[in-house]
Chain A
Amino acid sequence: MTLTAFSPPPPGTDFDDLRQEVRTFLAEELADFPPEKRAKSWNGFSRDFSRKLAQRGWVGMTFPKEYGGHARNALERYVVSEELLAAGAPVISHWIADRQSGPLILAKGTDDQKRRIVPRIAAGELCFCIGMSEPDSGSDLAATRTMATEVDGGFRINGTKVWTTYAHVADYMILFCRTGKSDDRHGGMSQFLVDLKATDNIQITPIIDLGGEHHFNQVVFDDTFLPSDALLGGKGEGWSQVMSELAFERSGPERFLSSFALIEELIRLLRDDATEAQQAEIGRLSAHLMVLRQMSRSVAGMLNEGENPSLQAAIVKDLGALFEQDIPRLARSLVSRPAVPGGSDSYAAVLAYTELAVPSFSLRGGTREILRGIIARGLGLR
């Protein structure tokens, strides 16, 4: 059955030397970076860190050299990604651009767009956000209402996007909206490259999450003018373009390592005198992690071959979210220590942060229910 077959990552793709270089870099850069900051995982923001990473050649690794990239393969990029996540490095400033916006622009953008934008992504200078969700369009992305109307020299945009992660600091948004009417629910959609710093009539307001953190936002477009060359890819091709981004978005190690700081804290506490029951639970966790990692690397291998493993990616994300969401429960079942937000005990602080973060893991990037629907369709349920 093809859906349950994850071909092993190609041999010789451990890239030990690269891994070692990244570890050395992280040990220096994050020497004083405390566990409670590492707990933010890929939600941590630091332009400075992203720029330094880029100077080492570790942003835009898979991009072609002519666009400032390094022409390395998806499995080398994978090594860097997982090392960053395992260390809890603050990566969000370049993460989305590096993972999906850059590859999208390279695949669908005009020559001018590629030359203007991609080298700056690879330099770690640009932060991207994704404008897909709306107040009345969450899982049902085809219900998008935001409308781009063609006018002289470009488009006028009207509508509201929500949950837009890091829109308040981002340089660009990849906007998904309507450009026309269509009988097909998925027709008449397009994507735009919106320069958030240079465009008037865009209002960005914070939305605070239940942990008190500000990462996502509401973004209102009020007769916003975008020049014609902001259109990204074909007019009316938005739906299929978004679908082909999903395999990149859903299969990476960020789909199972979001609670990793808590795992490290937990193991630090258990290390020296674990009971047999505790050993078994850590063994179970290790087994799951080893397998998820293999599956995720397998998808990276498929992406490298130019395949579109979006179904396999949905499986990785579904299993990955189950895994990372289960970590607080597991920790509580092995160690009796209260969760204290911002507490001075690093275990207590990381536990508190993670407990409040995990509900979002099966929402962002496609909910559990939606992923399972996609998998079921892939199984041939009529």
Chain B
Amino acid sequence: MESMIHDMAERLFRDHVTHRLREKAASGHCPEALWTQIEEAGLTMALVPENAGGFGVPPAEALGLLRIAGAHGLPLPLAETLIANAVLATANMALPGGRLTIAEGEALRLERRGKRVHASGHLTLVPFARWANRIVTIAVLDGTDHVLSLPVKVLSFAPAQDLAGMPRDDIKLDHTLAETDAVPLPRPMGGMRRLGALIRSLATAGAMETILEMSIQYANDRVQFGRPIGKFQAIQHNLATMAGETAASRTAAEMAAGSYDTPAFALTVAAAKARAGEAAEKVGALAHQIHGAIGYTQEHTLHHFTKRIWGWRDDFGTELDWTRELGRAALSSPHDTFWHFITDSAAKGAPA
């Protein structure tokens, strides 16, 4: 797909997202200057509808940015901010600018306090929370999805991190929100868990493409027994397996991105996140096998990508969570046959 914003992102990340930058980020340093460039390039607004200040990029193309960010191991919440802005815009809320993040709000308790909404409960392992201005989440009040925009500075949190060293923070919530910070969604968007699963599926596909490229390069360069190890059939077949898994994950993620904001999304995103998690396991393992000991070091770049794809398996539902959800839908579907479920799930989604 020819895309101006993809080219722009590709150039920006290629020039700035270095091994050193990823190292520094993993040790707790937020790359502020790069963020400013990302924001100035408009990437964080790509999924916002035109009438809310976006620039009319088709959703599949806007979401394609996240595969590219994944391919560069971008240590910033671009994906989270992109989704947060889209959700805020859908609820006609103000777009605050700056770094945002998203959290699953299914477990929050909301209650009315006069004209305002009081939220209590826990948000766990929220990505990049301590680097963000606001956490955007979706929770239910009176049977309706509400978007909450939580200012991070008033929250207290327990810092933690994912496998790649990126912030994942636990937050305890017991706050009465400003009227403008809790707004009903005019139409359901599938909850933050699904949107989060989508961005991680796309990023995983991108990161796996980079892992595959690095592994091919290494196989062509590394010489043992007098020839490049890529000449050995065992290595070639491992690379072919990696290519298959990567292609399947990318196809799955793009299928989900293609059904963003349609009824099919619930099932395509489940398939995408489950497939990405399974592939991450195989692709990571084979990449390390091909790279030998050097790939097992801090010094080598490979780990920035393998740790990311492994860590992302745990964000917004694991493979087990998503396969169960998909399996439950398949086994309880009113379709005459499983086949009808499969064809419908891709085209129109499961019946409620």
- Residues in A lying within 8 Å of B, measured CB to CB: 1, 3-8, 14, 16, 19, 82, 86-87, 260, 263-264, 267, 270-271, 274, 276, 278-284, 286-295, 298, 312, 315, 318-319, 369, 371-373, 375-376, 378-382
Contact = CB atoms under 8 A, between A and B. Distances in A.
Given A6-B250, A293-B346, A318-B240, 5 more contacts: A1-B209, A3-B247, A4-B212, A5-B247, A290-B268
Interface stretch (B117-125, B192-200, B316-324): B316-324
B270 A287 contact: yes
A319 B248 contact: yes
Nearest to A267: B338
Contacts of A7: 1
B163 interface: no
Given A4-B212, A283-B322, A372-B240, A267 B331 contact: yes
B189 interface: no
Contacts of A278: 327, 331
Interface stretch (B9-17, B21-29, B133-141, B231-239): B231-239
B346 A380 contact: no
B251 A6 contact: yes
B252 A291 contact: yes
Contacts of A283: 270, 274, 322-330
A358 to B, nearest CB: 18
Interface in B73-117: none
A379 B239 contact: yes
A279 B250 contact: no
Nearest to A1: B209
B236 A376 contact: yes
Contacts of B278: 284
Interface in B214-247: 216, 219-220, 228, 230-231, 233, 236-237, 239-241, 243-244, 246-247
B187 to A, nearest CB: 22
B51 interface: no
A295 B216 contact: no
Nearest to B233: A373
Contact of B326 (A287, A293, A376): A287
A203 to B, nearest CB: 38
A286 B255 contact: no
Contacts of B275: 287-288, 291
Q: Please indicate which of the listed interface residues B212, B219, B243, B250 has the most CB atoms of chain A within 10 Å of its own CB.
A: B243
Contacts of B337: 86, 264
Contacts of A287: 252, 270-272, 274-275, 322-323, 326
Contacts of A289: 342
Contacts of A315: 243-244, 247
Contact of B220 (A82, A286, A381): A381
Nearest to B321: A280
Contacts of B228: 382
A279 B1 contact: no
A375 B237 CA distance: 8
Interface string B327-349: 11111000001110111011100
Contact of B324 (A14, A264, A279): A279
Q: 5 shortest A-B CB distances, which residue pairs? A: A283-B327, A283-B323, A279-B327, A283-B326, A376-B236
Contacts of B170: none
A6 B247 contact: yes
A293 B272 CA distance: 13
A269 to B, nearest CB: 11
25 contacts: A1-B209, A4-B246, A4-B250, A7-B1, A8-B254, A8-B258, A267-B330, A278-B331, A279-B328, A282-B330, A283-B323, A284-B323, A286-B271, A286-B326, A287-B272, A287-B274, A289-B342, A290-B252, A290-B342, A290-B345, A292-B248, A295-B248, A376-B236, A379-B239, A379-B240
B302 to A, nearest CB: 17
Contacts of B330: 267, 282-283, 286
Contacts of B325: 283
B213 interface: yes
B331 A380 contact: no
B247 A4 contact: yes
A247 to B, nearest CB: 15
B213 A1 contact: yes
Interface string B255-270: 1001000000001101
Contacts of B331: 267, 270-271, 274, 278-279, 282
A290 B342 CA distance: 7
Contacts of A279: 323-324, 327-328, 331
B314 to A, nearest CB: 16
A382 B345 contact: no
A379 B231 CA distance: 13
A253 to B, nearest CB: 11
Contact of A3 (B233, B243, B251, B326): B243
B244 A19 contact: no
A192 to B, nearest CB: 33
Contacts of A5: 247, 250
Contacts of A270: 331
Nearest to A282: B327
Nearest to A23: B340
A294 B240 contact: no
Q: Please indicate which of the listed interface residues B319, B320, B342 has the most CB atoms of chain A within 10 Å of its own CB.
A: B342
Nearest to A87: B339
Contacts of B254: 6, 8
Contact of A293 (B212, B320, B323, B342): B342
A294 B327 contact: no
Q: Please indicate which of the listed interface residues B240, B268, B275, B325 has the most CB atoms of chain A within 10 Å of its own CB.
A: B240
Nearest to B259: A8
A257 B241 CA distance: 20
A382 B250 CA distance: 25
B57 to A, nearest CB: 16
B168 to A, nearest CB: 25
A279 B322 CA distance: 10
A373 B236 contact: yes
A267 B236 CA distance: 37
Nearest to B341: A286
Nearest to A27: B336
A3 B237 CA distance: 15
A273 B333 CA distance: 13
A178 B142 CA distance: 77
A219 B83 CA distance: 62
A3 B247 CA distance: 7
